[in-house]
Amino acid sequence: MYRRDAAELNVAREQLVAYSARLVADGLAVGSAGNLSARCGDFVAITPSGIDYGELTPEDIAVVGLDGAEVDAPEVPSTETPMHLAIYAATSAAAIVHTHSPEVIALSASRDELPAIHYAIAALGGPVRVAPYVRFGSAGLADAARHALSDRRAAILRNHGAICYGRDLRAAYGNALLLEWLARVYRIALSYGEPRTLTEAQVAEVSAEARRRGYGTRRATRSAASRAPQRTADNASGRDTGGAGKPLGRVAVLGAHIVDVLGRPVESIPPGQGSARLTEIRATVAGTAAGTAVDLAKLGAQVTAFGAIGDDMLADLLVGQMRRHGIDTTGLVRKPGAQTSATMLPIRPNGERPALHVPGATALLDRDDLDLAALSGVRALLVGAPDALGGLVGDGLADAVAAAKAAGALVVVDVLRPGSTRAFDRIAPLLAQADWFAPNADQLLALTGEKELAAAIDRVLSSGTGAVAVTLGADGALVASRGSEPEHVPAIAVDVVDTTGCGDGFNAGLIAGLLLGASPVDAARLGVACGALVATGLGSDAGIADLDHALSFLAQTSPGPAARLRALAGPPAAAGIDH
C-alpha cells in the first residue's frame, strides 16, 4: 500500500466513525444496523460487522481490496461488503451509506418506487426504485441493489433499508438523509389522496438548472481540477450519467433509432443450413439519431431523444441501453404493431459491413408525437435521418427545427440512406434551416447528383445551409462554409475492427466541439477523433469513453488542436448536484 493510500485511509476511518455516530443520532439506524464505506483508490474502508456505533473507533474500521480480499481487518468487515463492492464496480461512487431508516422501509413494504414528489429528488437521479427483497449479506442482494441504482444515486431495499452513494462520504450521507426526508414527505402527501408528482422532463430540467448553477460545488473549488473525483473505468464508459458532469449541456436528437446486431468475423454466409463460428456478437443502439445520442452522452451532453420505435423486445433493449447512458427517452414513441428499426451486420475480417435492414418504426414518427416544449433550452438539435422519416419531413420537422432555433440551438442534419436527387428535394427546406449538414461523400454526391465534391458542397451551401462537413471514411473529412475553400481534416489511423457508427461518432464529436466554442475545423478534428475511436471496436457504441479520453486520443496526432479544445472544455468534469 502506498503512503498516500494509507494517509487517505486514516482520514476515511475517522470520517466513517463520525458518520456512523450520526447514523444513529439522525434516526437512520439503531444499534449496529446499516453500514458505511469509503473508497480510496484500490481499497475500500468499511464499518465492521456487529459493533455498536457508540463503541466504534477508527481502528475497528476494516480495509478490503476491490475484490473483497481483507487487507487490514481487526474486526469482521460488514456483512454487506459484497453489496458495497458491487456498487463501486458499477458506478462512480466514492462512498456508500446503507441505512435501516424507518420511512423508506415502511414505503418499501407497499410500494415499488418513491416517485418524484419533490424536485430535490433530481439530486438522486430521479424516482427511487425499490429493489426486490433478498436476504442480507447475499450476492443476490448485491445484484438487486446494483440494478436498482442504475442511473440513480439512491435505491431502497425492500423490507430492509436504503443504499445511497456519492462522490464522498458527506455527499453519500446527505443523499441518505434526503431520501428519508422524501419518503416522509411522500407518506404525508399520500394522506391527502393521490399526490401529483413531477414528470421525468421536469426532474431533468431541475438537474440541468442545478448543473448550470454549479450546485454542490463550492465557489472556491468550482474550477479546481484537483478536486475532481477519480474516474472509475465504468464511469469513463458512460455509466452513472445521472446528472453529474454534463459540461455540454442539453442536446436533442431526432430521427432514426435502430438496433444493430453485429457479428464478426464473417468470411461468408454459409450455404444451405451451414453454420459458422464467430468470436463476437453484439446488439447495440445505433442509427443516425440514437447512435449519436449515445456518443454525445458519453462526451458529456444531457441528451433527449425523439423518434419512433416498435412495441417489441428490440425497443425495450434500445430504451434500456439509452437510459443506462442517462439519455432522456420520454420522446421515444412506441408504435403498436410496428417493429423497431433494426439491422443485421455480418462484419467482414477487414471491418467492412454489409447490412441487412428492416426500416421499421422510424418512418412512423408523426408531428403529434413531438413535444416541442421539450426542445426549449436545448443547445443543439441533431436531425438524424430526415431521409428516413416519412411524412414528418414536411411541416413537422420544420416546426421542431424552428422550436430549437428559437431557443438559440445549433441545428445539425445527417442522412441515413444512400441518397437520390428526389430525396434531396424533400430535405432541401430542412437543409436551408440547418447550421450544418454532415453526410458522407457518397451520400452527398448521390443527393446532389454532382460528380465532384466541391460542386456538391457549393449546391448545399447555396441552398442556405451554414456549413458542410463531408466525411470520407478512412480519408477523414472536408469542412466547408460559405465564402471559404473546403478544408481537409485527415483521419487518424487506427486498427479497424468495425466502421459501423463512425459517422455517428463524427457527428457527436463535431457537435461537442461546436458547443465548446471551437472553430469549425477544430470541431471537425474532434469529430474525426471520435469517428476513429468508434472504428476500434464492434458496433456504434464502441471506442469513445468520455471527452477527456477523446481529447487525449486527439492529442497523440494533433496536440495543438487538442490543447485548444481542452482549454475550452475546462478541467475534467467535476461532480454535479450531488449535494
Ligand X SMILES: Nc1ncnc2c1ncn2[C@@H]1O[C@H](COP(=O)(O)OP(=O)(O)OP(=O)(O)O)[C@@H](O)[C@H]1O
Using CB under 6 A, list all residues that contact ligand X.
Answer: 440, 471-474, 476-477, 491-492, 494, 496, 499, 501-504, 506, 528, 531-532, 535
- Sheet with 113-114, strands from edge to edge, namely 70-72, 62-65, 43-46, 35-40, 95-99, 161-166, 154-157, 128-131, 113-114
Three-state DSSP class for residue 314: helix
Q: How far apart are the C-alpha atoms of 384 and 307, rounded to whole Å?
A: 10
Q: How far apart are the C-alpha atoms of 64 and 167, rounded to whole Å?
A: 19
80 labelled catalytic: yes
Of residues 397 and 492, the one with the C-beta less far from ligand X: 492
Closest distance to Mg ion from the beta carbon of 446 (Å):
13
Name the binder of 506 from ligand X, Mg ion, none, CB < 5-8 A by kind: ligand X
Q: Which of residues 216-235 bind Mg ion (CB under 5 A)?
A: none
**Residue 287 found at the interface with Mg ion (CB under 5 A):** no
Active-site position among 59, 80, 180, 485: 80
Name the binder of 532 from ligand X, Mg ion, none, CB < 5-8 A by kind: ligand X
Of residues 352 and 425, the one with the C-beta less far from ligand X: 352
Q: How far apart are the C-alpha atoms of 266 and 399, rounded to whole Å?
A: 44
Three-state DSSP class for residue 97: strand
Q: Which of residues 66-95 bind Mg ion (CB under 5 A)?
A: none
**Residue 561 found at the interface with Mg ion (CB under 5 A):** no
Neighbours of 528 (CB within 10 A): 28
Of residues 125 and 503, the one with the C-beta less far from Mg ion: 503
- In our burial notation (b when 16+ CB lie closer than 10 A, e otherwise), range 216-245 reads bbeeeeeeeeebbbebbeebebbbbbbbbb
Closest distance to Mg ion from the beta carbon of 368 (Å):
28
Contact call for residues 460 and 472 (beta carbons, < 8 A): no
Closest distance to ligand X from the beta carbon of 283 (Å):
17
Contact call for residues 467 and 481 (beta carbons, < 8 A): yes
Name the binder of 424 from ligand X, Mg ion, none, CB < 5-8 A by kind: none
User: Going by C-beta distance under 8 Å and a sequence separation of 6 or more, which residues neighbour residue 4?
Assistant: none
- From 93, 108, 97, 92, select the one nearest 47 (Cα to Cα): 97
Name the binder of 362 from ligand X, Mg ion, none, CB < 5-8 A by kind: none
Name the binder of 386 from ligand X, Mg ion, none, CB < 5-8 A by kind: none
Of residues 71 and 496, the one with the C-beta less far from ligand X: 496
Q: Please report which residue ranges of 463-546 form alpha helices under DSSP H.
A: 502-516, 520-535
Q: How many residues bind Mg ion (CB under 5 A)?
A: 1
Name the binder of 496 from Mg ion, ligand X, none, CB < 5-8 A by kind: ligand X
Name the binder of 501 from ligand X, Mg ion, none, CB < 5-8 A by kind: ligand X
Contact call for residues 19 and 36 (beta carbons, < 8 A): yes
Q: How far apart are the C-alpha atoms of 243 and 565, rounded to whole Å?
A: 23
Closest distance to Mg ion from the beta carbon of 308 (Å):
20
Neighbours of 497 (CB within 10 A): 19
**Residue 503 found at the interface with Mg ion (CB under 5 A):** yes
Stretch that binds Mg ion, among 33-41, 151-159, 325-333, 501-509 (CB under 5 A): 501-509
Name the binder of 300 from ligand X, Mg ion, none, CB < 5-8 A by kind: none
Stretch that binds Mg ion, among 68-76, 140-148, 391-399, 502-510 (CB under 5 A): 502-510
Q: What are phi and psi of 232, to 5 degrees?
A: -90, 165
Closest distance to ligand X from the beta carbon of 442 (Å):
7
Stretch that binds Mg ion, among 396-404, 446-454, 495-503, 522-530 (CB under 5 A): 495-503
- In our burial notation (b when 16+ CB lie closer than 10 A, e otherwise), range 292-318 reads bbbbbbbbbbbbbbbbbbbbbebbebb
Contact call for residues 46 and 36 (beta carbons, < 8 A): yes
Closest distance to ligand X from the beta carbon of 439 (Å):
7
Of residues 474 and 521, the one with the C-beta less far from ligand X: 474
User: Going by C-beta distance under 8 Å and a sequence separation of 6 or more, which residues neighbour residue 153?
Assistant: 123, 124, 125, 164, 165, 166, 175, 242, 578
Of residues 59 and 475, the one with the C-beta less far from ligand X: 475
User: Going by C-beta distance under 8 Å and a sequence separation of 6 or more, which residues neighbour residue 69?
Assistant: none
Closest distance to ligand X from the beta carbon of 473 (Å):
4
Closest distance to ligand X from the beta carbon of 448 (Å):
16
Of residues 127 and 503, the one with the C-beta less far from ligand X: 503
Binding site for Mg ion (CB under 5 A): 503
The set of catalytic residues is 80
